[in-house]
Amino acid sequence: MLATLIIVFREVFEAGLIIGIVLAVTGSVPHRNSWIGGGVLTGIMAACVVAAFAGALSRLFEGMGQELFNAAILAIAVIMLTWHNVWMASHGRALAGELRAAGKAVADGNKSLLALAVVVGVAVLREGSEVALFLYGVLASDGGGSAVSLALGGLAGLVLGAGVCLLTYSGLMRIPPKALFATTTVLITLLAAGMATQAIAFLERANWLISLDRVAWDSGWLLSDRSIAGRTLHTLIGYTDQPTQMQLLVYVTVLLGTFLLMRLTASHPTGHGGPAVPTRAI
């Protein structure tokens, strides 16, 4: 049971962190729970589908299907996170003000929620498919004899994962509302940059990307990315103890790109034809 618990917890840990951040980011946006819940559910269903077809997925692209699939869904998450940040830079203040009730703002708000729901779904899908494969394997090989201990271990792992999500959320909610927007913007940007470097790692493993693939440094002696702290930082900011040059390049590019896009959109009034929204550069 303990082994099941540890493996399930390790997989849901990352999803828990990401969902906690998304919950804090969406704060008081109406209908956010159904969007995020929908993202989680869709992610779980997709995870089961991916797990069921894991063998077939592996055989795609000359054996590199898993790597390319992971790179693709990570890239989608990066685009969604970046889009959310840019959208918040241009609409966030409007949403926080009187326009919240206006139909247009709500419709736009739903678009941003959709982007974040996709991010949640992707996080659940990536971790969930491994949990599904693992649990199914244990069931198949033990003939269901250990079903109870398996269910208990799996459930306990899930509960711990939900605990991580709750801790992340409540921790972020302690930040004063004025500073919360800036904090979550930074968190989302780092999350996006981190996911982009993970996508690069998958492309490198698939041999689809071989330029600048030298390891820039090895900081494993300082902080291994297998330790709990290392895993947390891996999820939050994309920490890896042996980054390649390409990973570093992409990391910096995503950070700079987000910063520039946010500046560009924030400094122009939004063209909605509604009341002029005062905006200012960051």
Contact footprint for other proteins (CB under 8 A): 3, 7, 54-55, 58-59, 61-64, 66-67, 72, 75, 79, 82-83, 86-87, 90-91, 108, 129-130, 133-134, 136-138, 140-141, 201, 203, 205-210, 213, 224, 226, 242, 261, 264-265, 268, 270-272
Decide: 39 and 183 in contact? Cβ < 8 Å. no
Q: How far is the CB of 62 from other proteins (least distance, A)?
A: 7
Where does 97-176 have alpha helices with state H?
A: 103-142, 147-173
> Two tokens at 249?
């390049």
Considering beta carbons, is residue 143 or 176 the nearer one to other proteins? 143
> Two tokens at 35?
């969007």
CA angle 181, 236, 54 (to 5 degrees): 125
Q: How far is the CB of 86 from other proteins (least distance, A)?
A: 5
Q: How far is the CB of 161 from other proteins (least distance, A)?
A: 17
How many CB atoms sit inside 10 A of residue 268's CB?
9
From the number of C-beta atoms within 10 Å of its C-beta (0-12, 13-18, 19+), residue 18 rates as: buried
Considering beta carbons, is residue 169 or 202 the nearer one to other proteins? 202
User: 35-47 in b/e burial notation, b at 16+ Cβ within 10 A?
Assistant: bbebbbebbbebb
Distance CA 155, CA 278 (A): 49
Q: How far is the CB of 28 from other proteins (least distance, A)?
A: 21
Radius of gyration, CA atoms only, the chain: 20
Considering beta carbons, is residue 33 or 224 the nearer one to other proteins? 224
What are 215's strand-pairing partners? 244
Considering beta carbons, is residue 167 or 282 the nearer one to other proteins? 282
Considering beta carbons, is residue 61 or 259 the nearer one to other proteins? 61
Q: How far is the CB of 193 from other proteins (least distance, A)?
A: 15
CA angle 200, 201, 203 (to 5 degrees): 60
> Two tokens at 101?
């009730």
> Two tokens at 57?
């997925």
Q: How far is the CB of 218 from other proteins (least distance, A)?
A: 10
Considering beta carbons, is residue 170 or 253 the nearer one to other proteins? 253
Considering beta carbons, is residue 31 or 59 the nearer one to other proteins? 59
Q: How far is the CB of 48 from other proteins (least distance, A)?
A: 13
